Amino acid sequence: IKEYNANAKVLFYWNCIINYTYYSFQKELDDHEDWFLKDKTTGEDVEVHRGNRKLFDLSQPEVQKWWIDKATGVCDHPSIDGLFIDAITDVVSPTYLTNVANISDEKKTEVVKGWNEMMSDIQEALVQKKKLKVANVLRALLSDSGLSYLHYFDGSYLERFEDHDVEYLEKGIAAAQQAAQSKKILALTMRLCDSSDDEVDFDDMRKLQPRIDYCIGLFLIIAEKYSYLYIHDGYDVNTDSDGKCKSKVWLKRFSQYDRPLGEPLGPAEKVSNYNYTRVFEHVKVKVNIKEKRAHLSWSDDWVIV
């Protein structure tokens, strides 16, 4: 990656609550069965994601230290530029730990307290190492969209941005704008379509143009200096039995990305219910989030009178 683009940043994925067994060092946990959360009714390990993923008991200082040691150890590698921390909403949301994981309110309070301690410690450690700290933290389902936790991190990954109603999207936009304007990194992902949809002609991007424009338009009413957009058709970029990439748009560049953008001439304006506008040096953006459409007027199409 660095040979292709020396400016690229490579982050280590590390889930803060779910024990995805991706890494060899996680075999150490086989000797620490007591480090996982227990169902308050059965006393058995809490298991999520089709019953094969355990949850770290972050109320235990030993668990916090192990998690931090592994994170900092990987980040010490010269090719790793920082840490990406996932599943924060599973820890701090009002219902996940009590309803899905079925732990008591008292236990949840202890886990959230431990999580905050762990985030504070990993923040301090990575600042000393001059490494990035990005998290999946901004989500409109939280009361303040996760903004109160953003001080631990250099920025946020944004997924499932359109998952609910238009009011949910409005709330997410406002939070993302606030974060971006405070110079936080934002990495917005938006689904173009499903790569398995046989009715979509990926060889003729003209048919996908309205959706591409909407994704870009929505991004531009949020974006500041450290904001990034990834339009995708799913996250599986492995090859199928015929050796073809399962994603139809992986490593493909949309033509809009090569259009001149220029500096923003101000922040986005919400001109009416569900309608936003923003002007850059070389493009005028209009977005209607209820109808999920955008109009991008590029400067080479402007008529001077």
| Start-to-end Cα distance in the chain | 47
Contacts for 135 with CB less than 8 Å, ≥ 6 apart? 84, 85, 86, 88, 149, 152, 153, 155, 156, 157
Q: Which residue positions in the chain have pLDDT lower than 50?
A: 305
Record the pTM.
Answer: 0.92
Residue 189: phi and psi, rounded to 5, are: -110, 135
- What whole-number percentage of the chain has pLDDT above 90? 80
Per-residue pLDDT at 49? 74
For the beta carbon of residue 116, count every other beta carbon within 10 angstroms: 15
- The pLDDT tens digits of the residues spanning 114-159 come to 999 999 999 999 999 999 999 999 999 999 999 999 999 999 999 9
**What is the average pLDDT score of the chain?**
93
Buried b / exposed e over 59-89, threshold 16 CB at 10 Å, is bbeebbebbbebbbeebeeeebbbbbbbbbb
Give Rg (Cα) of the chain: 21
